[in-house]
Structure 1
Amino acid sequence: MDSLEERVNSVLFHQPSDHDGTSINSPCFEYRFDADDDDSQNPAERKLYWESQHALLMEVLERHSLAGTKIRHEINRRIEKARLESDFCRCLKTDGCSTCLRRRVVNLLRDKGLTATLCTSKWRDTKKFPRGTHEYIEVIGSTPNRKKQVPFIVEVEFRDQFEIAKACEEYKKLVRQLPECYIGKPDYLSAIVRLVCDAAKRSMKEKGIHMGPWRKRSFMLMKWSASIEKWEFMESSNKSSMQIRQPHDSCSLQLAAVPAVVVT
């Protein structure tokens, strides 16, 4: 069995191969762990699987917490400030709404001088997935020498994306470890989504419940595809002089022309 370090690196640095044209927007994009094993009801194998998934998730979250500490702290402060405001919602809903919250957070971040943008990922109907859209926040930071821009994804209802009503206790425990709000780089988000969606598939298999297409990894990753594809392209550009390709999705607004915060 691979070591925890090797498995974490496999999750973090897995990228779709360019030669086959596969991307996060392709229905065939899947990164397999152990959820398809036929002996899922074997007590020893089952215990090993869930302990392994928990350890992997904890390691990925720990690495995520060490990346971009300064910018994540600034963003989180603005989110908390927006939540405390009583009039951020323009929809006249009693408890407010996430749509208005995102817009208020973006305004607060821009007031602070950060390059914050409301982004929308959109995808068409396919044989496997229904069409859909998803809105989130993107903040652009830069490395200390300012030679490289770093996109940060902000999902204000991150944990809620993975809630399942009839999940097994091990899956519920895994989801409780997720941050309520995700603030971080696209690569860590991709790794977390792959891990948790694999666990969701395992949980549903154990419960004998059909897994809807909206629960699959490739569908979930499409929610943040505008930034994930940008990050993948930026990473590829740093390694080679590959030809620029047009992304499937793009941010709904242009980035504000303000200085990017330095990532530390």
Structure 2
Amino acid sequence: MSSFEEESLYEMFDDFLDPESERKPPLLPIASSPKNPFYFDHNHAKYYILQEIVESGTSAEIEVLGSVIKHVRKKLLVDGGEDCSGLKKWLVKSLKKDGYSASLRHTYWPTSLTCPGGEYEYIDIIYESKRGGSKRVIIDLDFKSQFELARPTSEYKDLCDLLPSLFVGDDEKLKNIISILCGEAKNSFRQRGLHVPPWRTPCYMHSKWFSLPQRTTSRREVFATRIGIDVSSKVVARRKYDSLGADQCGLSSQFSAMSTRCG
């Protein structure tokens, strides 16, 4: 692995490995702000709402995050890590050893009138609570870069700087982040006199994590399916989620409720 890739991987987890670091409030220069007494309140509100979303976490998310950091930190210290794709595969194996129902998810969505086609790869876990319920936890090792713009406004940059490179959270948390960032990205492009590119629309961003995934099935699961035996309750829980929990772009009632529209 090149020194550049190794340095990038170390930077990816810097925020989590350095708990002493503090975030600074956004800077909104008067010279570039419109003459609106509510301008500062509105932009500060978005900043602090996003900050609260990013820094919040359920007990399941905190537990999974701890495991991810433990494994990745060990990997980086031992051999400097791998490329991001190789690191994902290795991390899935490590999380499975910890007892998690982890999978490498590869999403693909076709081109439509309002959204260009694409594909994406991330990790998810079906977390089973002690009370018997199950919940999907998304793990993205290259999260922040998905929202970065080449020529952002200062307001958008302030919001983007809040995002972690390593994301661990549930569907609702991710959808709220997409809603806020895509809304501000639209404002950023407009202020630059540019049209919003298709790959920066809510529809496209939403499709990365919420299109129907293609899951690589293990040989053990294939064999068990052929002879009619369920491998474990975790497999059943994941199949149930795959059939009911992954929603298509534009069809999610939760996504629509946040006033985030495709296109």
Pair in the same fold by TM > 0.5: yes
Shift of 1:196: 1.0
The CA deviation string for residues 74-125 of structure 1, in whole angstroms up to 9 with x for no partner, is 1222233334453754xxxxxxx22111111112212222211000111001
Asked whether the 8 Å contact 1:113–1:258 carries over to 2, the reply is no
Percent identical among aligned pairs is: 25
Asked whether the 8 Å contact 1:119–1:252 carries over to 2, the reply is yes
Q: Which amino acid aligns with 1:209?
A: L
Q: Which runs of 4+ in 1 moved over 6 A?
A: none
Asked whether the 8 Å contact 1:163–1:175 carries over to 2, the reply is yes
Superposed, 1:90-101 pairs within 5 Å as 97-101=83-87
Q: Which amino acid aligns with 1:100?
A: G
Asked whether the 8 Å contact 2:123–2:140 carries over to 1, the reply is yes
* Correspondence for 2:129 among 130, 143, 148: 143
Shift of 1:66: 6.0
- Give the RMSD, CA atoms, in angstroms: 2.4
Asked whether the 8 Å contact 1:117–1:251 carries over to 2, the reply is no
* Correspondence for 1:104 among 72, 75, 90: 90
- Find out whether 1:117 has 2:103 as its counterpart: yes
Partner of 2:242: none
Partner of 2:177: 192
Partner of 2:52: 59
Change in 2 beyond 3 A, CA 1:180/1:259: farther
The CA deviation string for residues 191-244 of structure 1, in whole angstroms up to 9 with x for no partner, is 111111111111111121221011111210110015xxxxxxxxxxxxxxxxxx
Partner of 2:215: 252
User: Which SS does the other structure have where 1:180 is aligned?
Assistant: coil
Shift of 1:64: 3.0
Shift of 1:155: 0.5
Partner of 2:137: 152
Q: Which amino acid aligns with 2:157?
A: K
Change in 2 beyond 3 A, CA 1:60/1:252: same
- Quick one: distance in 1 between partners of 2:112 and 2:79? 41
- Quick one: distance in 2 between partners of 1:62 and 1:144? 24
Partner of 2:165: 180
Higher relative contact order (CA 8 A, sep 6+): 1
User: Which SS does the other structure have where 1:195 is aligned?
Assistant: helix
Partner of 2:255: none
Change in 2 beyond 3 A, CA 1:188/1:56: same
Q: Which amino acid aligns with 1:142?
A: E
The number of equivalent residue pairs is 191
Change in 2 beyond 3 A, CA 1:174/1:182: same
Runs of at least 5 residues in structure 2 that lack an aligned partner in the other structure: 1-32, 222-230, 235-263
Structure number with higher helix proportion: 2
Q: Which amino acid aligns with 1:160?
A: S
Partner of 2:23: none
Change in 2 beyond 3 A, CA 1:111/1:259: farther
Asked whether the 8 Å contact 2:61–2:168 carries over to 1, the reply is no
